[in-house]
Amino acid sequence: MKLDRVMIAAPKSGSGKTTITCAILQTLKDMGKQVVSYKCGPDYIDPMFHQRVIGIPSKNLDTFFTGENDTRKLLLKNRTGEEIAVIEGVMGLYDGLGGVREEGSSYHLAKVTKTPIILVVDAKGMGRSVIPLIAGFLAYDTEHLIRGVILNRMSKSYYEIIKPLIETELQIRVLGYLAERQQLQIQSRHLGLHLPGEIKEIQRQLEVAAEELQKSVSIETIIQIAASAETIEIEKITETTEKITSTELITKPLIAVARDEAFCFYYEDNLLLLKEYGADIAYFSPLHDKELPEGSSGLLLGGGYPELYAKELEENTAMRKEIKAAVESGMPVVAECGGFLYLHTAIRDRDGHPYQMAGVLPAACQDTKKLVRFGYIELEEKESNFLEVGTRIKGHEFHYFDSEKNGEDCIAIKPVTGRTYPCVIEKENVWMGFPHLYYPSNPSFADHFVKKAEQYLGGKYGEFLSFF
């Protein structure tokens, strides 16, 4: 399939990839292009910018999660030849697993998908030294995928001096520059970028970034580079058809998905898999709603920032009681990170003040004021409930809070070091813990979740929740 595409990558984090990617996406949208975007790696927040602020489809691609062929399939899934895809890289271009392996890096994704790369270089404080920096990245590019450079945080006057030197010495196109402007910088916090709704006038901020980009960066050359991407040859893609079962002929199982300011971390391909295995999805807000969607037969509580909304969550007593009653009735539930926190008896803030949560798990969780766990993992069940025997599912952890009861029903394996540790509370109908799971890495997880929701809908109740 021929899909025009380009990756925006950088030598290191903090180079301006997200701002420039968003500016390019906004510009392409304003030009009337059918634009879609992808984020390399496990990050949830950049795709939220792409979807909620710019209003274009966006999802994650990760070669650690899904390997080479499945990643190519996920790139092309639901795409058409009329679209242009922009992929935002992660960290430094060559930084993969453990910072040392190629797998999981932006470069590996570009290589696997044959995607041309535009390198964003933060040139602040640099003169001619920017040339050997770019030269080193070009020398390491064995597939010759880097097709252009954008210089960030550089003045117009110096850009006009350095551009011809770079192009003459390195034989690489310099597509433009962005001058340093504070209003173009997207602020950060402990879990990454701020959520779109938390940044004042974020849409106007990105519009200004797009306007600046159009003045000093050749968007036409970016489009040409994207159009030069090779055709991707893979096995014929056949969309997963929804299951037709006797239960489903009457009604599909309905999985209630928490989605609001406090719970917002979801991989779009996870939700798509649940639908493809036969479930309907209904969103609800633990912050604002008083009850679960009518007819719910499964519950998915994703990650997010419940600690920032602990007071509001505590005050919604009706929803806390509703969720506790649903889980105790045997309704299948998957709760990840922030959703896992919400199921505790209480969340304690940095000052030790407790806020009452759903009370499903008789334990508290607290802010440790430091990063507890970070990075990729693979998970094995000690007893098979959501996965086929002997298989693993891949995921990612990033949390500052910790629990008095993290669970010991699964084993987490670090992919680079092989270090293992117990985690997750997992029984017949429940999966609760800090890891964020990526279902396409083992689709049987989604299949089993939907089947459990079908069984609940049909009157078969799971194991009553009494863990401790």
Torsion sign (Cα): 16, 19, 25, 30: negative
The tokens describing 174, both together, are 């310099």
Other beta carbons less than 10 A from residue 104's beta carbon = 25
Is 337 an annotated catalytic residue? yes
Residues 360, 363, 365, 371: is their CA dihedral positive or negative?
A: negative
Which residue is catalytic, options 22, 40, 264, 337?
337
Residues identified as active-site: 337
